[in-house]
Homo-oligomer: A and B are copies of this chain.
């Protein structure tokens, strides 16, 4: 099984990608501190046709050398905007028809793999701070909480890993 050469991967140019139809899927980043994590999320968002990243609070927007180190240029292809306040961001998204899905370990959550994504829906996934997770006020303002089942000693995945697992779940159902 021969590895594909770079020209066999079908990679889009920045211009082609920007003009491409994206999924009705937004990633809201609620107060994530690590620029490495933000960069990795840009790279995943690029792969899975995410419409927009919404960086909130202490989540630093590009340009930044540290974001670039893990985003590898995806910070220039994925549309993004910044809101100082996460609640304001999700209210704007909800007004625009997005269902707000926070990713958090809460009472009444739905396991990620059981969540049925509707073809006709628009979704905003909210991931939270490395230590504190999604803010309780943001959880309260969400339409649904999704939880990744975890069986070990930590019950805490890296935030860029959690974001990727949820984007993958939506990507598979929306494509």
Q: What is the interface of chain A, defined by CB distance below 8 A to chain B?
A: 1-4, 8-14, 17, 20, 36, 40, 43-44, 46-49, 70, 72-74, 77, 104-109, 113, 133, 136, 139-140, 142, 145, 148, 150-158, 160-161, 164-165, 168, 172
Q: Is the CB of A139 within 8 A of B4?
A: no
Residue of B nearest to A140 (CB): B1
User: B1 to A142, Cβ gap below 8 A?
Assistant: yes
When distances are taken between beta carbons in the complex, the residues of chain B under 8 Å from A70 are: 158
* CB-defined contacts of A13 to chain B, threshold 8 Å: 153
Please tell me which one of the listed residues B1, B43, B104 contacts residue A108 in the complex, with CB atoms under 8 A apart. Answer: B1
CB within 8 Å for A47 and B154 given contacts A1-B142, A3-B136, A4-B107? yes
Interchain CA distance A109-B25 in the complex, whole Å: 27
Cβ–Cβ contact B107 & A2, under 8 A: yes
Q: In whole angstroms, what is the CA distance A113 to B113 when docked?
A: 13
